[in-house]
Structure 1
C-alpha cells in the first residue's frame, strides 16, 4: 500500500501486510523529488495520490506533482531501491493509475487538478512514456462532481472497470464505472457512501482480492487533524457491480462498517502496527520519520553521539524563525486518536536565537523548546497560525528561565485533538507549561508531531541538540 507525501521527504511510504489489517512501513518510493524547489518546504505540493500496481514481475507506482508533471517509479523488490522516472513534464495533472490490457497494451488513466474529467492515454509497454495526447472517457459534473482518485480495476466478464470518488474529500462518495470498450461510454454507479454512519466521504479506494477469493476495499476518511485515516471494507459482486461495506436497505449502495471479521488469507498473523517510537540506536532513522523538504545530511547525525540523534541548529531560509519554512523538522503523522510522545534532549546552544524542542505541526503549530536569548536559557512555548491562507509571524506565548540544557519534553494528545505540553528536568517529575491547545490539520494532511533544532537567521551557527529517544505511548 502507498500513500501521498506532498512536501514531506522521503516520499510515498510503502506499507506491507499479509492480512490487510496488520501493516508496517517497509520503504519509501523516493528519497528526494528531482526538482530543485523541493529543497525548501512546499506545503501542499509534491507527490499527490499515488497508485501501485504489479505487472510482469515489477511493482510500479505512478503519481503526479501538481506543478511539475507525471512520475513513475519501478522495482522488482519493494523493500529495495525504486527507480524514479519523469514520464511527462506537465502541470495540473493528478491521480494517475496504469493498466495493462490482456493483449499487453498499457494505458494510463488520470484527472486534472481541481478534480477534473477522466482522461485515458496509451503508454509504452514499459510504462515510461505516453503514446498520445489522451482521450476524455468520462465527465458528468451533475452526477459525479469533483471526480478524482482514479483506480483501474481488473477486467471482468468483458467489462473494463475503474473506481473513483466524487463529491469532495470530506463529503462525497465512492463510485465505480464500467464499459465494454476501454474508451467508453461508461456506466456509473455509487457503490459506497456515508449513509447513516459517522464515516464521512469514503474516498479514493482500491479493491483487493485475497488468495481465498474474498474481495476487500481499502479507502480513507478525512478526520481533520488526524489526517486521512484508512478503512478496510468487505466487498461482494452483485449484478456486475461491487457492493462495499454493509447494505442494510438493499439499494446496492454500501455503507462503511466500523468492525468486521478479519480477511480470510489462510492463516492468522500477529498484530503489527506502523512504526512510531525511535531510540536512535540504528545507523538510519526509523521509517516513520519524514522531513519537511529534501533531506540534507548536514541537518543531523546518528554517529556524533552514540545512541542519540544530533540535530544541528540549521538556519531557517526565510530568516524569520518560523517553523513553517524550516525543512529540517523531523516529524511523523498523528498515529492514534489519543497518544503521548516524549523525548529526552540535551542541547548545546551557543548563539542567541538558537532553539530546540518538540513540535505539533499543522496549518497552525506550537512547540515547546529551549531557547537562548541575550545569553540566557529559557523554556518557551511558541506559536504560529495560518489565517486566510497566510502564515502569521512566529511568536512566543510563554517563557520561564532554566539553568539546564538537558530536558524531557512530552505532549499528550486527546481524542478531540486538543493537547498539552509538559516538561521535566530529571525525567521523573513533569510540570505543565502553557495552555491546552488544539491541533490543526496541515495542507492536505493531518497534524504531525516531531523534534527540531534551528536558528532563526541566515547565518550558520555552532549549536546542536542530542535527542536520546522519541517514545510514543497510548
Structure 2
C-alpha cells in the first residue's frame, strides 16, 4: 500500500512539475515588438486579447491573441473596410488613437477615436478575429475612450478631457449619451491626464491613468473611490509605473505608461503598457516607436496595486509566468504566393485596390506606380511592415517595368512622410541606376548612386542601433555592394516627431505624373539579429 501511494505521488508530481518549472522561466520585454502603442487587454476564460493603436495605417487596430500574456499572435484587425475607417485625409500621426478592448455578455467591444474623421466610436464582434461591425459613433469630443459596465449593467463612456477624466452614461445600442459628462479626477497633477480605465475591486472603483505625456516623463497613476463619479483619492505609491526617476534613468526602456490591468485565471494580476527602447543607454533617440510591455502586479485585497514591486520594468523579466504557450515563429521569407498579404503588412492610408495584385504574376506582388510621392499624405502605392528590432536585415528582389525617368520603385524606411530613407531603382539617361535618397524635413538629397545592368535588382538593408546600411546585389560579382551607411537618429521620433515607428515599405511611384509603370516584387525577407 505504501509503495502504491508513493508511485501515485510520483506520478502526480511528474504531471505538475513541467508546468511548475515552465512557469518560472521569465520572459523578455517587449511582448509585442515594434510600433504597437497604447495597449489594451481583455480576457475570456483562458484567452487574452489585446489591441494597439495604428494611427494613419490601414487596416486599423491590430488584434492579438495569447494564452499566457507573454506570447502573442496577431489574428486580424478591427477595422479592415474603408466604410469603417476613412483615412484619406489623415496626416502623419493622425487617424486612430488609443483603443480599448472589452468583453461584455458574449460580445467584444473595441472603443477608439479617429481624430481625422468622425471622433469617438466603438465596434462590436462575436469573435475578436472579426468581422467587426461598422462604428457606432459617440458624440463626445475627446480621445482615449473606454466603456465601463457597472454592477447594474448600465454603460458608461470613460474618456479624457483637457481638464481631466470624464464619465458619461451612454445607450450601448445607439451610442447616445444619457447623462451630462461628469469630471471625476484630474490625476496627480502631471500634464495630459489620459488613457483612463475603470476597474471594480473590493468595493472600490479604481481609475487608472497615463500622465506626463507620452515621452520621457510618461507614467501611470491610479486613484480610487467608493463611488463611480468620485471623489477619487490618489494612491500614495503614485506613479505606479515610471522610469522618470533615478531608478529608471539608465534603463534601455523609457517613456513607460498608458497601462491596462488584467487578472489571469490563476488570480494573478498583470499590466500591459507602452514604452520605447532607446538606441543605446542614455541615448535620447528611439526609432522603433512605442511598443507593448508586460509586468506582474501585486494587488492585495483593499490595497493598492504595485507593478513589478517598484514600478521599474526590465528587458529581462525574471518573474514567474503563466504556463507558456508559444506560437510558431513567422517565416523569414514572404514569397507572395498566398492570395492575400499577411496581417503584418499595412497600407499608408486607404489603399487604391487596383494598384496591388498577388495574382497578375503568380508568386509576385505587383505594385502599380501612383502619382503620389512618399512625401505626400496621400494613398501611396506602398505596403509596409514594422521594424521590430534595432538589429535586422531586410531584403527584396524585384523588377521595374518603366518607360520614363520619372518612375521608380524600391524599399523605404519610413518614419513619416517627411522623414524616410529610400533605396530605389529608376531610369537615368537611358540606363538604370540605383539611388539612395534621404528625406529629413526640408532636406532632400541623393546620398549614393550606382549604375546597374537592367531593371531587375536585389536590395538589402541592414539595421543596427545607430546605423542603417544600404546595399544592392552585384550579380556579375555575386556579392552585395554597399552604397552607404546612414544614421538611424534622423528617423527617430525625437527628430521626426509624431507617434509612429519606422515601417519598412515596398513602393512604386511616378512622382506626380500619369503612368502605367509597375513593380513586381518576387519576395521579401525580414530577419532579426546581427
Q: TM-score over 0.5 for the alignment?
A: yes
**Residues 440 and 143 of structure 1, relative CA distance in 2, 3 Å threshold:** closer
> 1:87 offset after TM fit, Å?
1.4
Q: Deviations over 1:110-129 (max 9, x none)?
A: 013xx641011101143633
Which of 121, 126, 131 aligns to 2:168? It is 121
**Residues 156 and 362 of structure 1, relative CA distance in 2, 3 Å threshold:** same
**Residues 384 and 232 of structure 1, relative CA distance in 2, 3 Å threshold:** same
> 1:88 offset after TM fit, Å?
2.9
* Structure-1 residue corresponding to 2:94: 45
> 1:356 offset after TM fit, Å?
0.4
Asked whether the 8 Å contact 2:423–2:434 carries over to 1, the reply is: yes
* Structure-1 residue corresponding to 2:305: 242
* Structure-2 residue corresponding to 1:227: 289
CA distance in 2 between partners of 1:150 and 1:33 (Å): 28
Asked whether the 8 Å contact 2:159–2:167 carries over to 1, the reply is: yes
* Structure-2 residue corresponding to 1:256: 313
Give runs of aligned pairs for residues 25-44 of structure 1, distance below 5 A: 25-32=74-81, 34=83, 38-40=87-89, 42-44=91-93
Give runs of aligned pairs for residues 2-401 of structure 1, distance below 5 A: 2-32=51-81, 34=83, 38-40=87-89, 42-67=91-116, 68-88=118-138, 91=141, 93-112=142-161, 116-126=163-173, 128-139=175-186, 143-153=189-199, 155-170=200-215, 171-189=217-235, 190=238, 191-194=240-243, 195=245, 196-197=247-248, 198=251, 199-223=253-277, 224-238=286-300, 239-247=302-310, 254-261=311-318, 264-265=321-322, 267-272=323-328, 277-316=333-372, 322=375, 325=378, 327-363=380-416, 364-386=419-441, 392=442, 394-401=444-451
Find the residue that maps to 2:87 and give its secondary structure. helix
> 1:331 offset after TM fit, Å?
1.0
CA distance in 2 between partners of 1:297 and 1:134 (Å): 41
CA distance in 2 between partners of 1:123 and 1:350 (Å): 58
CA distance in 2 between partners of 1:286 and 1:42 (Å): 25
> 1:295 offset after TM fit, Å?
1.9
Find the residue that maps to 1:149 and give its secondary structure. strand
**Residues 352 and 108 of structure 1, relative CA distance in 2, 3 Å threshold:** same
CA distance in 2 between partners of 1:374 and 1:366 (Å): 23
Find the residue that maps to 1:298 and give its secondary structure. helix
Q: Deviations over 1:412-458 (max 9, x none)?
A: 11023x21111114395111113323232362111111110111014
CA distance in 1 between partners of 2:332 and 2:198 (Å): 32
> 1:385 offset after TM fit, Å?
1.5
CA distance in 2 between partners of 1:229 and 1:275 (Å): 22
> 1:172 offset after TM fit, Å?
2.3
* Structure-2 residue corresponding to 1:413: 463
Asked whether the 8 Å contact 2:219–2:255 carries over to 1, the reply is: yes
Asked whether the 8 Å contact 1:21–1:262 carries over to 2, the reply is: no
**Which sits farther off after the overlay, 368-377 or 95-104?**
368-377
**Residues 55 and 193 of structure 1, relative CA distance in 2, 3 Å threshold:** same
Find the residue that maps to 2:194 and give its secondary structure. coil
- How many residues align? The count is 452
Q: Deviations over 1:65-97 (max 9, x none)?
A: 224311111100111211121413565x11001
CA distance in 1 between partners of 2:448 and 2:516 (Å): 26
**Residues 276 and 236 of structure 1, relative CA distance in 2, 3 Å threshold:** farther
CA distance in 1 between partners of 2:89 and 2:519 (Å): 22
Q: Deviations over 1:329-366 (max 9, x none)?
A: 21122111311111111121122211000101114111
Asked whether the 8 Å contact 1:106–1:127 carries over to 2, the reply is: no
Give runs of aligned pairs for residues 410-449 of structure 1, distance below 5 A: 410-416=460-466, 418-426=467-475, 428-438=478-488, 439-441=491-493, 443-449=498-504
TM-score of the aligned structures, taking structure 2 as reference length: 0.80
Asked whether the 8 Å contact 1:24–1:275 carries over to 2, the reply is: no
CA distance in 1 between partners of 2:269 and 2:446 (Å): 52
Question: What root-mean-square deviation, in Å, do the aligned CA atoms of Structure 1 and Structure 2 show?
Answer: 2.3
> 1:263 offset after TM fit, Å?
5.6
Q: Of the two, which has the highest radius of gyration?
A: 2
Asked whether the 8 Å contact 2:63–2:76 carries over to 1, the reply is: yes
**Unpaired runs of at least 5, structure 2:** 1-49, 278-285
